[in-house]
Amino acid sequence: MKPKELTLRGLILGVLITTLFTAANVYLGLKVGLTFASSIPAAVISMAVLSAVKDSSILENNIVQTVASAAGTLSAIIFVLPGLVIVGWWTGFPFWESFLICLSGGTLGVLFTIPLRRALVTTSDLPYPEGVAAAEVLKVGSGTRGETKDETGEAREGLVAVILGAIASAGLAIITATQIALGELSGYFPVGASASTGYDFAWSLALLGAGHLVGLSVGMAMLTGLIISWAIAVPILTSMTPAAAGVSLAANTAHIWSTQVRFIGAGAIGISAIYTLARLAKPVLAGLVSTLAASKATTTGDDSDRDLSPAWILLIAALCAVITGYLAYTFAHSTVLAGHAVVLTIFAIPFVIVAGFIIAGICGYMAGLIGASNSPISGVGILSIVLCASILVAVIHPAAPSQAALVAFSLFITAIVFACATISNDNLQDLKTGQLVGASPMRQQIALIVGVAAGASVIPFVLNLLAKAYGFAGAANVGVLAPNPLPAPQATLISALAKGVIGGNLNWTMIGVGALVGVALIVLDETLGVMHKLRIPPLAVGIGIYLPMSATFAVVIGAILSWWYDRRVRTMPDPQRAERLGTLVASGLIVGESVWGVINAGLIVGLSKDAPIALVPAAFAAAPWLGVILFVAIIVWLYGWMLKRAAKM
């Protein structure tokens, strides 16, 4: 008898996990510009929960992680969608518009990768690092197909690891919310006669967990970005532009960083993204050619090689195209562009379909080659917005009064394309996991669409809550209660690019400097690769320059700790299991603090206080020291616990 696979309980459990991880990923992405892959922690949670059910199986566990993987991907829509608030077009996130953007784009991402499956998964030698890792976790926890016994205890141990990490990070975040301990330490100081710089350390266990997951290479790249930004660029530029009369050193330093140094980072990100995509052009084209050949092959009757039928694919794709047309027309018709609404709709539908399909192939291949977490998805977003805005300018020739509306429309349409890109970036990874455990691709594709719908229904609520409580850097933030807005780095950059292309007001000098820095970083990274040394990914360096120090400091610490921990466990009885334990604790760290961030946003909005659970005044003298002590103590305790567990495996 074939084990159960696509079950109602599996879909419900997957949706519940998706809801949790989507909220966590939205918060993390807006704070640091990174999202974490949720497949492995979702697989562990599903195994622990379903092990209590007599007839559950590895295939049902795989469906749960397939649904939940939408959390790590569709939530990346926050790299574009908040741009509509940042440019001042929206004051919040209308539910139906936001939901339909995510639903239509995400569903297209699922559909567009279906014809790529045989060529890029079944007959391909692409490594699919995350897909293989998720399959190994499922096999370890469930044994052979159909078995549900957790004989090694790893599934329950993994669940404990996730919960422990979540409690630790949420606990520290709650203590800092009481103001007893300070969660951040910042200041500015002079360098020499006229220059200045600063520091901003955030004691965030979620960011530390993100650093553990991204690893030493990305961590060192971000550290390089911090050095370029705060040890080189800021001192040089502040010495060239000293503070004017009446302007404090701190205000001048912060202004120089936000208006000049960040655009150096933007230039480095842009050139790095173009280079990364150019390097992948040949294998992507080869993959698409083999896909065309594979599409002519006769589909077997084997359920493990059956996709959604062509009729269903065309029907659902047509429905998504209708939704895209409806969204484009109603958006344009409500603006000063109403006279061009039909033309803009005629542009939007083929742009989403054609650009979406091309991006699906690119992102799917990149995910198979280097993993969904390492795929330069934000670079795809940057190129998409530049292309979209450039075409719109050529089609509409906007006068000054209509430029703001055209910027908003370009962000709106790019958001749909980006939703398609995020899902296609993950879809083939899930199908690889399914192939390795003997799952049905068709059932996984249905599960992915369910996951897209679940994530799409959660994202607008979370975004609205965070927008009202914290606001976004660069937005008007009227009525926002918390003093420190979320950086929303990619959305801020993509918004600036849209305004620059359409309005011609970008800081091209600093972007050009950043492009030169990016070229130098590419040369350095390739040289290190030839020498077989630790690589310094240029895209991560650019992000390190662009992001505030508070968003990257703990990531660097986490990356170093991950490297140290992995070296320590190599000589232990089961090093791979020990490394997975570290991954799960790190995932828990992200989930705990991020979910508390969403809950705290609800308290801020509900109670109309910027510090709703504060127990002491903001100037509590011991708070800075207590923040550092707690941060270090929790790290020592957690990594000590992991090493003890690893020694007993």
Query: For residues 94 and 37, is the Cβ–Cβ distance under 8 A?
Result: no
Q: Is residue 249 part of a domain?
A: no
Compute the Cα dihedral for 49, 53, 57, 62 and give only its sign: negative
What is the CB-side half-sphere exposure of residue 369 using CA atoms within 13 A? 17
CA dist list (Å): 285 to 2, 282, 361, 425 = 38, 5, 9, 16
Burial of 283 (0-12, 13-18, 19+ CB in 10 A): middle
Q: Is residue 270 part of a domain?
A: no
Average pLDDT of adjacent 10-residue blocks, the chain of 649 residues: 78 86 80 69 76 78 84 78 89 92 92 78 69 71 49 70 88 91 88 89 87 86 93 94 85 87 84 74 60 50 71 92 94 88 92 83 66 62 82 79 87 91 81 84 90 91 88 78 78 84 79 92 92 86 84 89 93 86 85 79 77 84 89 95 86
Full-model pTM: 0.74
Q: Is residue 522 part of a domain?
A: no
Domain containing 148 equals: 1-209+314-509+587-613+620-649
Q: Is residue 178 part of a domain?
A: yes
Query: For residues 134 and 40, is the Cβ–Cβ distance under 8 A?
Result: yes
Q: Is residue 272 part of a domain?
A: no
Q: Is residue 278 part of a domain?
A: no
Q: What is the pLDDT of residue 453?
A: 92
Torsion of CA 297, 303, 307, 309, to 10 degrees: 90
Q: Is residue 152 part of a domain?
A: yes
Report d(CA 452, CA 60) in Å as an integer.
Answer: 18
Region of 544 (left: φ > 0; alpha: ψ -120 to 50; beta: rest) is alpha
Report d(CA 539, CA 490) in Å as an integer.
Answer: 12
Q: What is the pLDDT of residue 576?
A: 86
Q: How far apart are the first and last CA of the chain?
A: 34
Report d(CA 101, CA 418) in Å as an integer.
Answer: 10
Q: What is the pLDDT of residue 325?
A: 95
Q: What is the pLDDT of residue 637?
A: 95
Comparing CA positions, the residue from 32, 70, 96 lying closest to residue 491 is 32
CA dist list (Å): 302 to 60, 299, 305, 439, 440 = 18, 8, 6, 11, 9
Q: What is the pLDDT of residue 148?
A: 46
Domains identified in the chain, total number: 1
Q: Is residue 106 part of a domain?
A: yes
Residue type, 21: F
Region of 504 (left: φ > 0; alpha: ψ -120 to 50; beta: rest) is left
CA dist list (Å): 572 to 46, 214, 301, 484, 579 = 27, 23, 46, 44, 11
Report d(CA 479, CA 569) in Å as an integer.
Answer: 50
Name the token pair of 81.
């969608």
